[in-house]
A and B are shown apart, each in its own frame.
Chain A
């Protein structure tokens, strides 16, 4: 080595570089670092040398000293007068690997969009790079597209890989007919993109290309079954995982048991067993916390001294998000609220999540005030509460105390912005959702529902309808009929409106108008033909497999609601006879008839002063006060 150095130092440097590369590829990172230190590079490859030294050091440390590697990269960028966050500074193909490594770290830190920006730009410069580096860049591109929920771009990336690296048939298929690892990996990305796009028929046919023993095939296939609505089949496919040997968490950066339990929870949620789903999610969270617990020695690394691919391995927030949804559907709004407020800290641009928070508040309010039984959805427990609060006095002076009408919810002194499942918080949450959603057809920036799969514009529209109806309801409860009327009117003009929501829109508008002393207009909203259809989803929209019990669930029930409310409007307008005529045809014992009918009957008789009839009604419905 040294004999050649006085003649031609350029050559020996080159030999050293080759040797360093081979030591690195053999895994002898210490040797590699030593050789690189001997190199006296000139200015033109200063950057590359420093870069390779940093990489070799990082590997020498077992991929655990991520923070020092990041610092080293930053120093290199500064020396080269480049700025990784300003993509226009990437001009020279020489710096591609430097930017790639920066993107890899971002990916492992779960900053998918930033990583995607960098790696998309790099992928335009890959012609001169060697195959190994080019492939790495392309795989990272595909992965970042999927993690950032941009499946169409991921498919483009896969096509690009196919065009560039599968030029001969033996690139795709080995001599024995099985697919090469390149082809298999491409298929896996293609399948994952297909799942995000809901192209279920493509997924079902392509998934057979993967081996039966492949763990990711079990996950992908069960996902496909789950999305197709075949829950039982999904469970049995997923259970194939139980028989396989699972790689340890630190080796791959993902914990299979966590994913397994989480997926079982999703399936059971779709099978209408939200309590079972909640149970599995608790298991999943426990597994996740145990696996991702930081090790005792962190060696001063701010990421915990774990291998770089395990830094972002905790799925805590996604699990907590799922748990919130499961608990909400199980009728446990307070638990759901706690989970979802944790999730919203990370996913605060998800309007659907804000809506779910508001729904938790609404359900909690109904359970508290109206005594809806826990375990049932709001609205079903139009509970038959007793007519009488009690009786006072005895003998001639005995008085019966009827149950009073509740007044509008009073706001507590606690600030509404502190997360509590109150209607005031619901109002804020719904306003956030409205702001993020914007108007129909404005579609400038697409709406994301992270961490879930992307939504189509139609799904965004149905979300708008739900937000408006919840908002109108909350405003009515908080005693604000002006805003309630505005929201109800807006709701009635929306596209893709479910029949049940049309009914609600008219009811809320009628109540708001009544409170604003415009009873004539209120009557216009209470037409009987609204009760013809009470389905919860619009005609062209796929219904959720998750069933809900909602009242009214039949056209008869809807007609009874409308008739009762018409009687209320007539009463307030002073047309007591008309009101009484409407009430007479409604039998309070029938399940579709709202129990408030009896209260209104009592009221009408009290107005007329017919105390005998009042007493007889009371005795009929509360026999203990005979």
Chain B
């Protein structure tokens, strides 16, 4: 199949170059071969159909000759010529214009000087020319000259400081270190560490508490060396809230304190944890959002307790706690007003809640009053 096409191509090329096939009957034969190469298929599927069209439409004498050569069913009548034409046009439409715009690279340039052919005979010259044009691997006959879009290459990427400029970094200055703290901690710290381990697991005796606290106060570095981590804080708060308070106060300036706050806010609310937070609020300035979050947690916990007795107790504690915060101006009432009011109303049956509610109302109206112009205040 491929060979037929190659042969057909070669023949078409020859037909187009008038000097290659000087005799008319050669061209007729060539055209006939083109027809017979694909005679098993309908004529409009012949790849060289447009050659036939060209000849039929423009070269009348040749077409008459053809008529006599071809058997009658394949003879081209006027109507089927038009049919063939449309079929060929259809096929061409599928090929984009950019792809079918090539022309042959072979340009006739007759050298009309005498003796130009040299010693070769006419036939020899023709044959050598044909061979030269048609021989593989890349036959000139198949090459095309087409309009070529100018495709500019992009410039190299433009940037600064791309290369690595090296500067001394003195790697030998960073060396493995000996730990000088081996067995050199002051005696007090060792005992404090033991006491702290006990404190996390259960309540200490009064004497133990005092010993631990005095050690913490005596050597301010102790708090970092006794192995208290945020994870252990809830247990410490439950068993020994006083120690927890002391530890947190000492850790206030260190960057670890945020981790401790997070744990404190999220731990289960209890008498001890409130005590710790209360003490903290009176001793130092806590971050506002921490306090707010803690209050929200307390209120939520109160609502969730099932045991009536425990609930009442806790509510009372929360109210007292809130009252203390408000009276000491530790929190801005306005930020929690709505939450706390709702809480009070939920538990209005409890005396302390009612008292808190009244306190809130009083503060609120004071606020409003102070915002009215002087003449309207009652």
Contact = CB atoms under 8 A, between A and B. Distances in A.
A583 to B, nearest CB: 11
B184 A452 contact: no
Given A104-B175, A309-B174, A397-B129, A93 B224 contact: yes
B107 A606 contact: yes
B147 A568 contact: yes
A551 B96 contact: no
Given A92-B227, A572-B147, A359 B163 contact: no
B307 to A, nearest CB: 36
Contacts, number: 356
A405 B148 contact: yes
A512 B162 CA distance: 33
Contact of B172 (A309, A321, A378, A466): A309
B149 A514 contact: yes
Contacts of B180: 21, 130, 132-133
Contact of A18 (B155, B160, B171, B184): B184
A49 interface: yes
A139 B173 contact: yes
A326 B162 CA distance: 10
Contacts of B285: none
Contact of A396 (B111, B221, B254): B111
Interface string A532-554: 00001100011111001011100
A377 interface: yes
B145 A395 contact: no
A328 interface: yes
A335 interface: no
A124 B156 contact: no
A220 B156 CA distance: 29
Interface string B224-258: 11010101000000000000000000000011100
Instruction: Tell me if A's interface is mostly helix, strand, loop or mixed.
Output: helix
A125 interface: yes
Contact of A519 (B97, B140, B168): B97
Given A55-B177, A139-B174, A568 B148 contact: yes
Interface in A141-180: 143, 146-147
B153 interface: yes
B254 A143 contact: no
Contacts of A104: 174-177
A394 B117 contact: yes
Interface in B18-56: 19-20
A223 B159 contact: no
Contacts of A252: 168, 170-172
Interface stretch (A78-86, A291-299, A436-444, A595-603): A595-603
B214 interface: no
Interface string B138-153: 0010011111111111
Contacts of A510: 149
A69 B169 CA distance: 24
B72 interface: no
A340 B261 CA distance: 51
A118 to B, nearest CB: 13
A548 B132 contact: no
Contact of A564 (B106, B150, B169): B150
A124 B255 contact: yes
B103 interface: yes
B165 A14 contact: no
B171 A313 contact: yes
B88 interface: no
A97 B125 CA distance: 95
A356 B168 CA distance: 28
A262 B165 CA distance: 7
Contacts of B126: 397
Contacts of A216: 167-168, 170
Nearest to A21: B180
Contacts of B229: 91-92
Contact of A94 (B154, B155, B172, B225): B225
B171 A108 contact: yes
Interface residues of B, number: 82
Contacts of A551: 152
A614 B107 contact: yes
A498 interface: yes
B309 interface: no
A379 B182 contact: no
A100 interface: yes
B283 interface: no
B64 interface: no
B79 interface: no
A334 interface: no
Nearest to B113: A395
Nearest to A574: B97
B375 interface: no
A63 B175 contact: yes
Classify chain A's interface size: 35 or more
A395 B123 CA distance: 12
A573 B155 CA distance: 30
Nearest to B126: A397
A461 to B, nearest CB: 11
A471 B224 CA distance: 58
B3 interface: no
Contacts of A94: 181, 225, 227
Nearest to A451: B164
A68 interface: no
A393 B128 contact: yes
Contact of B174 (A127, A143, A326, A537): A143
Given A259-B168, A397-B20, A17 B107 contact: no
A133 B179 CA distance: 8
B105 interface: yes
B120 interface: yes
Nearest to B129: A393
A607 B103 contact: yes
A219 B117 contact: no
B252 to A, nearest CB: 12
A34 interface: no
A507 B152 CA distance: 8
Contact of A517 (B17, B98, B148): B98
A91 B260 CA distance: 12
Contacts of B287: none
B147 A603 contact: yes
A57 B256 CA distance: 34
Contacts of A313: 171
B61 interface: no
A451 B358 CA distance: 68
A451 B112 CA distance: 70
B105 A402 contact: yes
Nearest to B149: A511
A463 B157 contact: yes
Contacts of B176: 55, 58-59, 63, 69, 101, 104-105, 308
Contact of B151 (A195, A215, A477, A571): A477
Contacts of A500: 155
A220 B167 contact: yes
Given A147-B169, A573-B97, A399 B256 contact: no
A618 B108 CA distance: 12
B316 interface: no
A21 B108 contact: no
Contacts of A398: 108-111, 116, 129
Nearest to B222: A128
A55 B179 contact: yes
A50 to B, nearest CB: 10
Q: Top 3 closest A-B pairs, CB basis?
A: A393-B129, A395-B117, A404-B143
Interface of B: 17, 19-20, 96-98, 101-112, 116-118, 120, 125-126, 128-129, 132-133, 140, 143-184, 190, 193, 221, 224-225, 227, 229, 231, 254-256
11 contacts: A20-B182, A21-B180, A262-B164, A315-B166, A392-B140, A397-B125, A402-B106, A404-B144, A476-B151, A507-B151, A596-B148
Given A322-B164, A326-B163, 7 more contacts: A48-B182, A92-B229, A125-B256, A401-B143, A551-B152, A561-B152, A615-B107
